[in-house]
A and B are shown apart, each in its own frame.
Chain A
Amino acid sequence: MSTPTLEKPPAVPEEIQSFTVTLSVRRFVPETDEEPHWENYDVQMYATDRILDALHKIKWEQDGSLSFRRSCAHGICGSDAMRINGRNRLACKTLIKDLDITKPVTVEAIKGLPLEKDLIVDMEPFYASYREVQPFLVANSKPKDGKERIQTVAERERFDDTTKCILCAACTSSCPIFWTDGQYFGPAAIVNAHRFIFDSRDENAAVRLDILNDKEGVWRCRTTFNCTEACPRGIQVTQAIAEVKQAIMRGKP
């Protein structure tokens, strides 16, 4: 009987390379600051870390007063949209390896909504537009067999893209029309109207089309495509808006 021997020495776990990343964060504390200002923080990060991890490191290890919203940390809840290197993204879906870290990475609150503190904005105007388009199923008739409202695969497919919205406001706050005209419904509200306008079970499409035919409705859209590029869910936002415009002209979905 021979004692088993290791053929190779155990591999020394390779050290995972980390980098010093400078974050330039636009800070604003309403109690003490008159104007927002930029502050730099150095954090040690792995390539697979996300900007949200960097913000956590700053908050937990360097400056507990830094304020931002986040909940799920996995791109589902939509609470951490912010402007990173001049583009709207979710902090929890922005990997360090996808950014140029030879320069400071800028992080600021999304634009066009009232700044409350640091990276937090007042989302109320955004939700108000969302509520106005009736983002819920309206069906007052009795279902055919008395139980279910049946839909074909193709009917479900018709509005599939716009069901993916997580209401993060990345689109609306990237829109140059919304920046100058805060009354504009904005892409997110139109996306969520589209979700029900093209749902075969819904009966209130005409009402929603009428709401969006408003001066501040879909006709404000100048097809800049900023919203489509900003959407972390990959929704074809401008396409959805164009489809609503066409539905208004046809007078039906």
Chain B
Amino acid sequence: MWSWVLHRITGVAIFFFLLVHILDTALVRVSPEAYNAVISQYQTPIMGLGEVALVGAIVFHAFNGLRIIAIDFWNAKYQRVLFYVVIGLWVVTMLAFVPRHLINVFSH
């Protein structure tokens, strides 16, 4: 249940991020000045924290997506173990990413 709730929430969240991201990138063709103004906003610490959430969502969605593929094509009996593996991999990935990223964000 919770793996699915998280998968849907992260899936929809990533979708909306991509939608906005495609729109702001498209802005460069409309007005390069407006594009620069928007992109510079991404350099603020608030956005830096937002990026942590975005990467967290993508990493969970990707790992759990592989878990769902394994359930559908291989075996559903190990789903609970696999869910803990997903959480474990997520924690490891985030531990590797978050400190480096935050040092980058706050050293500018």
- Residues on A lying within 8 angstroms of B by beta carbon are 176, 222-226, 228-229, 236, 238-239, 242, 245-246
Contacts and interface: CB of A to CB of B under 8 A. Distances in A.
Contacts of B8: 222
Interface in B60-85: 68, 71-73, 75-77, 79
B1 A239 contact: no
The majority secondary structure among interface residues of chain A is helix
25 contacts: A176-B1, A176-B4, A222-B4, A222-B8, A223-B4, A223-B72, A224-B1, A224-B3, A224-B4, A225-B1, A225-B3, A225-B4, A225-B76, A226-B1, A228-B76, A236-B77, A238-B71, A238-B76, A238-B79, A239-B75, A239-B77, A242-B72, A242-B75, A246-B72, A246-B73
A224 B75 CA distance: 14
Which 8 residue pairs are nearest across A and B when measured between Cβ atoms?
A: A239-B76, A224-B4, A238-B76, A242-B76, A224-B1, A223-B71, A242-B72, A226-B1
Interface in B24-41: none
| Candidate in A176, A225, A236, A238 with the most chain B CB atoms within 10 angstroms | A225
A155 B4 CA distance: 34
B22 to A, nearest CB: 26
Contacts of A225: 1, 3-4, 76, 79
B76 A223 contact: yes
A230 to B, nearest CB: 10
Interface size on B, as a range, is 10 to 19
Contacts of B1: 176, 224-226, 229
| Candidate in B1, B3, B8, B76 with the most chain A CB atoms within 10 angstroms | B76
Given A176-B1, A176-B4, A223 B73 contact: no
A242 B75 CA distance: 8
A245 B1 CA distance: 20
Contacts of A238: 71, 76, 79
A223 B68 CA distance: 7
Contact of A236 (B68, B72, B76): B76
A180 to B, nearest CB: 12
A226 B5 CA distance: 12
Contacts of A246: 72-73
Nearest to A221: B72
A196 B73 CA distance: 21
B5 to A, nearest CB: 8
A16 to B, nearest CB: 37
Contacts of B72: 223, 242, 245-246
Nearest to B72: A242
Contacts of A242: 71-72, 75-76
Contacts of B75: 239, 242
Contacts of B68: 223
A190 to B, nearest CB: 13
A226 B3 CA distance: 11
A239 B8 CA distance: 21
